[in-house]
A and B are shown apart, each in its own frame.
Chain A
């Protein structure tokens, strides 16, 4: 996946705890490529376990998509926040 970093204020409607977990790699945020098949209101897809939530451009959660409720969309880059910490590599715990 391509990755990109943005400032957290760009998604000011998204919960801070969720943002922290995105940077920590617990949750995954992708931007959605507008390809004409999906409503332009949807700008991001947030993956929490098996569930997918669709967000608008300010990070507001608009709907949850699971099972029969799926819609087609094309994901773009994996998104992280510039102003939240990212985890270190597990190599830092490496054997000497």
Chain B
């Protein structure tokens, strides 16, 4: 039995950003902050942790990391992945947590990350024996059924274990409040599967009863926890869907109409006038209200009605032999 805590292990957190955005969504940054904080609480030294978060607002991202974890991590961008390979070549084991949005061909990222790209990048890291990858985003089933076992792919230098939140559905997130560094209580809509994985690392549980807390147990725990939480969300939201969605639709139509009227009026107002300034503010305000209502509607329908979660693990045999 191999123990990650006793081996030289590098713990890597990766949050890419899609082409259409300048920065990651706030909730995804808090997923990372919570994950790093839990791994620290589990006794892992900050020296063995690497954080990669893409995005333009470097100062803000770094500050969110420091405030939430108590440690001033050098937050890397995806272009600096070579630094990770360099650090990785001096360890035996490599654990990667992947955050953010998924894509039908891999991860939503400025630099495309297909399943093959991810596996080849990790495979190029010299000297590592085992790589474990936890994938939180949507549609991560596209990373499943890949040649990651040394038993079947002799050219592989390391055994890779992949654990995914869901197959070909969106992964789900829900509101939580957690204590971060310095007793700061942060509320955000957390990726349930990754939240569960980190909760397991913070407090490992032996699910299969073999007397060891293995990577396989982390998968079973996070899979169960995800579906238990999801069932609760569905029950909670059932009556809300019936009672609230028609009201939201009504509000959205009203806001849209007001928005259209204001935009038409705006075109007739003289530039830099006081009236134009008020009108611009009104348009921004209506836009924010529409966006907020629309997000609630999507959350109720896409998460609670048209979804299911199928957590999966690839290369499960080595996962039974690696303990935290």
Instruction: Name A residues whose Cβ lies closer than 8 Å to a Cβ of B.
Output: 1-3, 15, 17-18, 21, 23-28, 46-51, 53, 60-64, 66-67, 70, 74-75, 78, 80, 86-91, 93-95
A95 touches B195 (CB 8 A): no
Task: List the A residue with the shortest CB-CB distance to B30.
Answer: A25
Q: How far is the CA of A28 from the CA of B288 in the complex (A)?
A: 12
- B27 and A67 contacting across the interface, CB-CB below 8 Å: no
- How many angstroms between the C-alpha atoms of A31 and B284 in the bound complex? 19
User: Knowing A18-B292, A61-B281 touch, does A80 contact B26 (C-beta < 8 A)?
Assistant: no
> Is A94 touching B22 in the complex (CB atoms < 8 A)?
no
Closest to B23 in A: A50
Residues of B within 8 A of A95 (CB): 205, 221, 224-225, 228
Which partner residue on chain B sits nearest A28 by CB separation? Answer: B26
Q: Which residue of A lies closest to B230 (CB)?
A: A93
Q: With contacts A78-B186, A90-B229 known, is A63 near B281, CB below 8 A?
A: yes
B195 near A3: Cβ-Cβ < 8 Å: no
Residues in chain B near residue A74, CB distance under 8 A: 59
Least distance between B227 CB and chain A CB atoms (Å): 10
A53 x B284 contact (CB < 8 A) = yes
Per-position 1/0 for B64-102, Cβ under 8 A of A: 100110000000000000000000000000000000000
A88 contact from B21, B177, B224, B228, Cβ within 8 A: B177
Q: Is B127 an interface residue (CB 8 A)?
A: no
> Complex: how many Å from CA A26 to CA B289?
13
Q: Count of B residues near A, CB < 8 Å?
A: 51
Which of B209-241 touch A at CB < 8 Å? 221, 224-225, 228-229, 232
Interface contact A2-B67, CB-CB below 8 Å: yes
Is there a chain A Cβ closer than 8 Å to B190's Cβ?
yes
A9 and B175 alpha carbons, distance in the complex (Å): 24
**Which residue, B228, B280, B284, has most C-beta atoms of chain A within 10 A?**
B284
Residues of chain A within 8 A of B184, CB atoms compared: 1-3
Task: Please give the distance in Å from A72's CB to the nearest CB on chain B.
Answer: 9
Shortest Cβ distance from A96 into chain B, in angstroms? 10
CA distance A26 to B292 in the complex (A): 9
Task: Report whether A25 and B229 are in contact in the complex, using a CB–CB cutoff of 8 Å.
Answer: no
B208 within 8 A of A: no
CB neighbours (8 Å) of A49 from chain B are: 25, 291, 295
Report the minimum CB–CB distance from B91 to chain A (whole Å): 31
Restricting to B18-72, which residues have a CB under 8 Å from any CB of A? Answer: 20-23, 25-27, 30, 56, 59-60, 63-64, 67-68
B161 within 8 A of A: no
**Minimum C-beta distance from A63 to chain B (A):** 5
Q: Assess whether B246 is interfacial by the CB under 8 Å rule.
A: no
From residue A49, how far is it (CB to closest CB) to chain B in Å? 6
With beta carbons under 8 angstroms apart, the residue of B20, B22, B176, B288 that contacts A90 is B176
Which residue of B has the minimal Cβ distance to A73?
B60
12 contacts between A and B (CB under 8 A): A1-B63, A18-B289, A18-B292, A26-B299, A47-B25, A48-B291, A50-B20, A53-B284, A80-B187, A86-B187, A90-B174, A94-B199
Point out the residues of chain A lying under 8 angstroms from B22, CB to CB: 50, 66-67, 70
